[in-house]
Structure 1
């Protein structure tokens, strides 16, 4: 079990200590569940009232919140408790799953594949022809990397993920369990005789930048031609669909169960809420926000927040909802 003193913790988050400082902290927990050896976080005034009844030994608190530590307890006041929490969670993160050997004997690796220094390959992995993997990459058990794919340094790929042929993956990425990269896009047209559907081949690939994190069971389809592109620093939640020929700029966020139809373009820093749906061939410009559950049918200007189905300016949509409630009365 990891243990840090209050001084150790403050060295990480660089706040101001208020109260007793000679305590040992063994973990982090919600304010209502924490015990006398754990730390908690108060980043919102509505949780401040819970401090008196909490058993936590330490609270990391926004410096805008007025609070006293109490007997045998301590506060560390910081500018942003959420960011401080992220740093401490990293410090208390348990060790990752153990590899008995760097390359498990049951892994199947084509003779033409190239693996960088310090790369680890778990049981049951398959690495195909002419795959190039950088330094310090970790492939957990039962990962499949198909032919002509390249993966940059220090990328982590969790079990069950399949990265299809010709994909280009950057450095410092994280793909969680059962991610699908580079499957066929969804494209069909009615046959000439009108009696069936003709499958449209997708011969492009997927290109993913550096520092991208993709959640469990998310799918990124390859392009019809050219590339489906995920820009540097994008963070994609679980159960997200990114269709063929989509292009995401830098540092976009997509929350769970949201989806992009084919050939959607996102600028830099776009935020898409959970379960939002984006129509094909739509452009959402840099800094725009799409509210959860929204359906976007048209382009969204830079910096705009839209909401609803079909999505419109958030302020206008909120006015409509208020008017509907008044009509219901």
Structure 2
């Protein structure tokens, strides 16, 4: 079992240690659930009152909060408790599932595929014609990579994921279980005999350091490319439709969705269960509140909420007015 002294953890965080504990710390935990050999964190003043009755031997605390150490219980003051806790979690993270052999004998790898150095390919994987896989890539069991796809160095692909033909993936990406990349876009047109399927002959291009959560889908373009920029973080159960373009470091929370040809600038945040109409542009740094429905373009830096989504201050005024009407 991993364990660290309070001084070792403080050195990692470069914080201000106040008080002391003789306990060896074996892991992080919530304030209410922590045991005497665990460390917790407090990043918001509404949780400060829980410190006194917590069993945690130490707490990582944002430096704008007023909180004191207790007997054999220390605090580490840092600028941002959440970011500091991320470093502590990294200390205690378990090892990834291990491979007995680098290339499992049940994996099917086309003779034209190029596999980089140090790759690991699990049981029942499929790697198609002319696929190029960079160095240190991990494909967990039951992953399918179809023809002419390129995957960059150190990318990790978890079980059940399907990456369709001609997809381009950057370095250091993570695709969690059952991700679908490069499936046909959703496009039909009516005619006298029914619905005509619109072919989608483009591809998907994914930048570096992109993470896509379980059961999310990124559809290929009708023509040209669906694009996810460097550093984008996509939650579980997210839909990104054909020809969408995401800038750098966008965040999409769970169950949100982009219809076709949506453009997100850099650093856009899409809240959970939000939906964005087709051909909408959302500017750099804009925020869409959870559960919102965006029907028109959003300027850079704006926050919109509601259905249909409206600038946050205006929507809040509407909600207050409606509440007053209900009491009238």
TM-score, with length taken from structure 1 = 0.98
1: CA distance, partners of 2:19 / 2:305: 45
Equivalent residue number for residue 273 of structure 1: 271
1: CA distance, partners of 2:124 / 2:16: 50
Equivalent residue number for residue 254 of structure 2: 256
Equivalent residue number for residue 23 of structure 1: 23
1: CA distance, partners of 2:12 / 2:110: 44
1:174 aligns with 2:181: no
SS in 1 for 2:55: coil
Does the Cα contact within 8 Å between 1:176 and 1:215 map onto a contact in 2?
Answer: yes
Deviation at 1:22, TM superposition (A): 3.7
1: CA distance, partners of 2:22 / 2:7: 8
1:187 aligns with 2:183: no
> CA-to-partner distance for each residue in 1:230-267, whole Å, 9 max, x for gaps?
00000000000000000000000000000000000001
Equivalent residue number for residue 133 of structure 1: 133
1:286 aligns with 2:284: yes
Equivalent residue number for residue 75 of structure 1: 75
1: CA distance, partners of 2:213 / 2:206: 14
> CA-to-partner distance for each residue in 1:31-51, whole Å, 9 max, x for gaps?
000000000000011111011
1:221 aligns with 2:215: no
Does the Cα contact within 8 Å between 1:7 and 1:21 map onto a contact in 2?
Answer: no
Does the Cα contact within 8 Å between 2:293 and 2:308 map onto a contact in 1?
Answer: yes
Deviation at 1:152, TM superposition (A): 0.3
1:321 aligns with 2:315: no
Aligned CA RMSD, in angstroms, stands at: 0.7
SS in 1 for 2:76: strand
Equivalent residue number for residue 10 of structure 2: 10
Deviation at 1:69, TM superposition (A): 1.3
Question: Number of paired residues?
Answer: 327
Does the Cα contact within 8 Å between 1:143 and 1:157 map onto a contact in 2?
Answer: yes
1: CA distance, partners of 2:319 / 2:251: 26
1: CA distance, partners of 2:8 / 2:138: 30
Deviation at 1:285, TM superposition (A): 0.8
Equivalent residue number for residue 196 of structure 2: 198
Deviation at 1:208, TM superposition (A): 0.1
> CA-to-partner distance for each residue in 1:144-189, whole Å, 9 max, x for gaps?
0000000000000000000000000000000000000000000000
Moved over 4 A (4+): none
Does the Cα contact within 8 Å between 2:23 and 2:36 map onto a contact in 1?
Answer: no
1: CA distance, partners of 2:178 / 2:76: 39
Equivalent residue number for residue 118 of structure 1: 118
Deviation at 1:23, TM superposition (A): 2.9
SS in 1 for 2:36: coil
Equivalent residue number for residue 312 of structure 1: 310
Deviation at 1:7, TM superposition (A): 1.4
Uncovered stretches (5+) of structure 2, i.e. residues with no partner: none
> CA-to-partner distance for each residue in 1:275-305, whole Å, 9 max, x for gaps?
1100001100111110111111111101011
Deviation at 1:21, TM superposition (A): 4.5
SS in 1 for 2:52: helix
Uncovered stretches (5+) of structure 1, i.e. residues with no partner: none
2: CA distance, partners of 1:305 / 1:66: 31
SS in 2 for 1:100: coil
